[in-house]
Structures are given as C-alpha cells and as structure tokens.
Structure 1
Amino acid sequence: VVHIQARTAGRRGPRASGAGWFYNDQGFIVTNAHVIEDADNIRVELHDGRVREAEVVGVDPYTDIALLKVDPSPGVIPLRRATGSPVLVGEQVFAFGSPFGIKFSMSRGIVSGLGRSEAASFVGMRGGYTNFIQTDAAINPGNSGGPLVNIDARVIGMNAAIANNVQWDGNGEPLQGQSAGIGFAIPLDTIESVVEQLMERAVVLRGFLGVSLGPDFGPDVARATGLAYDGAGAVLQAVPPGQPAAVAGLRTLDIVTAIDGHPVPNSDVLRSLISIRKPGEAVDVTVWRAGAVQTIPVRLGAAYNDPQRRLNYIPGSERMTLREIRARMANEAPAQAE
C-alpha cells in the first residue's frame, strides 16, 4: 500500500491525497482517477518512507480507475488478489488508506451489500459501469484508491467513495465529510479488466451486448408495459438488429435477471457485468420473457468510449480477437482524424 500526493501547478500544498497499491512487481500502482485528476505532479510514498515520482500510465474516468508507475526497486511488494473468488455479504474485510492524511491506516468491517450503483454520483463517475461493493469499514477522505482486502489479505476491491451528509462551499465544491458507515469499493473484476488494458497504454475496450435499457423494473414499469413480472431486473427497451444481442435472440421487453448466474438487480449492474468481459467472450444471459425464464448464450462484441462519452460499437468485433480489433482501430484512426 502507498500514500499518494497529487499537486497542481499554481496551487499551494497538495491538491489531493489518497492511497494506492502495487498491482505487480514492475512498479504499476492502482488508484482512483479522481485522486490524481488534473495533477501536474504525483508523488508516491512507500511504507518505509521512501518517496518516488510517479508517471500516469493511463486513466479510465468511466470506472474511476487510474494506473501509475514508479521505478521498481526493493520494497515494491505487490498485493495478492482474490481473482475469481466470490465476494459474500457478511464476510470480514479491511480497508487501507490515508484517512485525513493519516498514512497507512487500516479499518475493519464487513461487506454490507453488493451491486450498488449509488456511489457513482459521489465521485463524478462519467459512465454507468457501476457495481460497487458496500462496506461498513471506516472509509474517510484519503482512503480513496486504497485496497479493500478479505480476511486472507487478498484484494477484493478498491475504496472509492463514502455516503455522508457532506456540505458544499460557496464555489460549489464539496467540503470534507466523514464516514457514516456506508463506504463503496470498486470490485476487483472491474479493476483487472481495466488495468490490464491500461498497462498496454491502449484504449479501454469494453464488452458490448447491443441493447438499449429502459428504467429499472418496478411497479410503474410493470403497469406501463403490462409485464406480469414481480422481481428485479433490467428491461431491454430496444435490441438493434445485427448486434450481438439481436443475433443471439434477445428481444425488446425481455427482462435480464442474471449474467452467468450473477444477479442483475438494475441496469447499472448489467452494464458493469457486460463491460468487464472480453470481446468475443460468450456469456449466458438469463431473461424473463412472457412468463417463462430462459437462458440465452450471447457472444459479446467490443465497444469504446469516445471523448464525447459516447459508447461506440465496433461492428463484427464479436468474431475478432483483441489483436485484430486493435489493428482495425489503428488502421481507421487516420481516416477518423481527417
């Protein structure tokens, strides 16, 4: 775990401070994008007091993930990750960071909930790729970017936001709040999907289903659509022809309830579960349709966010490898720039 200070030219003192953690032994550090936003200089302090200048390798504002790099040296100890291990409500967790600038602190709590999308607004996240872990471990300003680990000391997520009764100053800027026992962390599967691509200094590609989503299912939607479904899920408002969902047989007004067995309580969680998958990967989409539940396999395509925040589907990408997709994007880049 490391302490991070981000400075902006023309401002006195550190603009922001937070935490991060070594992803591997090559000096790559993961933190939140909002910790280093607009920073001109980033300094990283290791656990033994050594300070290093950090380079920004890449940032994905749509998931609030940033990747830094320092020169690898003795003392660079990557954290172990709980890749592929399920996170369970009620399991004990530990949050690390620098709350209120108190470096290398740890707090303890439990996983309070899964699939939370409410935290996106707290960090100004630009996209709907939200599937947060909720915890009651004390998370305060300065914990952002620090790891959330399980009882086996393996990373299951990254601290990102807290819910509090924050007050606002006259310039519309938030004043520092404090933990109210409701903290949120970005899940590890989202982190790994993004970081592996940022390490290649590449555009972040996301899995793409090819649907337009309506309001989250509830009594109002049930009355408006006439659907006699009484559970939670994401309603497919449109299924454009020729895209992965339509090709697989999904239909308008299908209600998606699970992806590969993972519950889909709302549209935000559906976006997150799809976006972390690799293009060309097959997923099982469980839907409610006309009173029956069925599972439909879908081979996902690829998409990327442009500077205008639009999600752009790459036609035919569901039948391509990642290398073929990136080669195609590289070939098309000059034409797009003209």
Structure 2
Amino acid sequence: MPTSLCVNSPDDAPVIRAETALHQHHSRPLARLTLWLLAGIALAFPAAATRAESRLPDVIEEISPSVVGVGTFDRLRSPAAALLGTGFIVGDGRTVITNAHVVARPLSRTSNETYVIFIGRGEQGRSEPVQVLERDDEHDLAVLRFTTGSPLPAFRFAEPRRARPGLPIAFTGFPIGAVLGLYPVTHTGIIAGISPVAIPRGSARELTAEQVRLRRGAWDIYQLDAVAYPGNSGSPLYDVETGDLLGVINMVLVKRSREAALSDPSGISYAIPGAQIIRLLDQLRLSH
C-alpha cells in the first residue's frame, strides 16, 4: 500500500496497520515456501556435480585400458618409437580411432617404418603394428586396425542427445608425449557450447579455402571449457558419470578453420562429435 495514504490522515492509521498486518500474515507462508524451493534447487546442483566427481576415479580406471598412444616405430631410428598422439578402442576391440593428422606423415620406406599403437603403462608398455584403414581429412578422423595381440576393451558410445552445453566431461590422453613414459593424463571440464565448425567472415572475399570447404558441408563441433594440448589430439571425450564416449579431441582442424577468423586464437579446446565416428565406421562396415 502506498505510504502517502497515511501521511496526513491519522484516522486512517489503524486501518493501514491492520491491512499491513494482514498482508504480512499471508506473505509469510509464501516467503517460507520460496526459501525452501531455492534451498532445494541450490542443493540439487551441487549434489549432481558431487556424484559425477565421486565417480570420476572409477570411470578413469574403467576407460584407461581403452586409451592407447599412436605413433611410429623404426628399428633403425634412435629412439625407435615415436609417440605422435592419442587414440582409443571401439567396436570389436581391434579398431582404433584417432585424428587424421596424427597419421598423416609419410612413412620411411627404406627403414620399414610402421604406424603402431602403444599399449600399457610406463615401462610395461608395448607396441602393436596398425594399418590405417581410412582417413577422413574433412572431419580429421582416422580408423586404424590391429590384428596381433589380444583385443582391448572398447568404449561405449553415448546417446547423441546426452551431449549438451553444461555436461561435465573428461578426456584422457598423452599431452606431453612419452617424455615421462607412457602415462595417460586426464583433464576435466564441461561442454561449453555446440556450434558449426567454421565461423563465417564478414564477406566472401575474407573466407579461407578451408572455411569455404567446411561451410559447404556444415557440421557441429563441441566447444569445451577445458584445456587440451597437442598430444591430446585423438583423445576420447567422455561423460564423467558414465564413461560413455561423446567424441574425439581435435586441436588442428578447428584451429585452422574456426579460429582463423580470430586475430588472436584462443586456448579453447574442441571435440568432434561421436556421430561423425559412427558415420565413418558404418561406411567401413565396422562394429561400434
């Protein structure tokens, strides 16, 4: 009630006080209900985050056998093994996914250099030769196969609708190569956004050839609130609560297309959605 009604009207004061008391009487239950609702919401989000965080150590332990190093082996070179990036196992346990740029370098024919995956941890690691079945340069994906040794545990693919902004994620790989041995490192964050892979520029004349190519077949990428490094290329992106595969970390394709529009490229990390991996595996008639 406006306070001006009682300024010069003493006779109205009892009425105003009565109406004010009545208003306060009815507003108290509503205020209490609002406080309870706000408290419930505040408690719900930390509880969900806490559940995911408490599961993370177990999830990392579960998915680690599915994460491998990708590199080359040349017995005439010192050191003979060179780690180039990260990969992970899908399907029947013999299919490896990584980035196409990780396996883009021509191999030496004179020394019988081969692509290999590195399995195991630390000094107990071993290598297995792999064949590059397919390279999809447009999406910077590569499919490798190994036939020696035993199959490895494979990732489960998450439902496509599971990936959305705000979802807590993690990725595991070898960000500093094998400097300290074959020890994987895990980084965490969230999916910060889902957007087209290339940012259009102000006019057609400002578009790079790479951006023109990508705009013709536009597809979405995940922008991550997490830090990845060059050795993380090919690392699996997964749900921290379930360990299900969401996509693959990429540090090259997006940088030279999406961030070509920026005068000062950011440290933002990106991932290629799992749907692109499934599409490629279906083309090769491989299980996933």
Q: Deviations over 1:61-81 (max 9, x none)?
A: 111111001126446010111
Deviation of 1:136 (Å): 2.0
SS across alignment from 1:115:
strand
1:46 paired residue among 119, 140, 157: 119
Indicate the residue corresponding to 1:36 in structure 2: 103
Q: Distance in 2 between matches of 1:127 and 1:195?
A: 22
Among the aligned pairs, what percent are the same residue? 26
1:58·1:199 contact (CA, 8 Å) conserved in 2?
no
Q: Distance in 2 between matches of 1:187 and 1:23?
A: 15
| Runs of at least 4 residues off by over 6 Å | 7-16, 124-127, 162-166
Residues 84 and 164 from structure 1, CA distance in 2 versus in 1: closer, same or farther, beyond 3 angstroms? closer
Residues 86 and 183 from structure 1, CA distance in 2 versus in 1: closer, same or farther, beyond 3 angstroms? same
SS across alignment from 2:101:
helix
1:163·1:183 contact (CA, 8 Å) conserved in 2?
no
Indicate the residue corresponding to 2:56 in structure 1: none
Q: Distance in 1 between matches of 2:151 and 2:76?
A: 33
| Equivalent position amino acid for 1:159 in 2 | I
Residues 12 and 78 from structure 1, CA distance in 2 versus in 1: closer, same or farther, beyond 3 angstroms? same
Matches within 5 A, 1:1-338: 1-6=67-72, 17-40=84-107, 41-48=114-121, 49-71=125-147, 73-74=149-150, 76-102=152-178, 103-118=183-198, 128-151=217-240, 152-161=242-251, 181-199=267-285
Higher strand share: 1
The total of aligned residue pairs comes to 187
Deviation of 1:59 (Å): 1.3
SS across alignment from 2:162:
coil
| Equivalent position amino acid for 1:190 in 2 | Q
Deviation of 1:50 (Å): 2.3
Q: Distance in 1 between matches of 2:255 and 2:162?
A: 32
Q: Deviations over 1:194-242 (max 9, x none)?
A: 1221346xxxxxxxxxxxxxxxxxxxxxxxxxxxxxxxxxxxxxxxxxx
Q: Which stretches in structure 1 are left out of the alignment for 5+ residues?
A: 167-178, 201-338
Residues 164 and 145 from structure 1, CA distance in 2 versus in 1: closer, same or farther, beyond 3 angstroms? closer
Residues 27 and 118 from structure 1, CA distance in 2 versus in 1: closer, same or farther, beyond 3 angstroms? same
Q: Which stretches in structure 2 are left out of the alignment for 5+ residues?
A: 1-66, 108-113, 200-208, 257-264
Deviation of 1:8 (Å): 8.8
| Equivalent position amino acid for 1:146 in 2 | S
Q: Distance in 2 between matches of 1:92 and 1:183?
A: 14
Which structure is higher in RCO with an 8 Å CA cutoff and minimum separation 6? 2
Supply the RMSD in Å over aligned alpha carbons.
3.6
Higher helix share: 2
1:163·1:182 contact (CA, 8 Å) conserved in 2?
no
Q: Distance in 2 between matches of 1:163 and 1:24?
A: 25
* Stretch of structure 1 that moved more, 190-199 or 143-152: 190-199
SS across alignment from 1:191:
helix
SS across alignment from 1:35:
helix
Q: Distance in 1 between matches of 2:278 and 2:135?
A: 13
TM-score (norm 1): 0.48
Residues 134 and 58 from structure 1, CA distance in 2 versus in 1: closer, same or farther, beyond 3 angstroms? same
Deviation of 1:106 (Å): 0.8
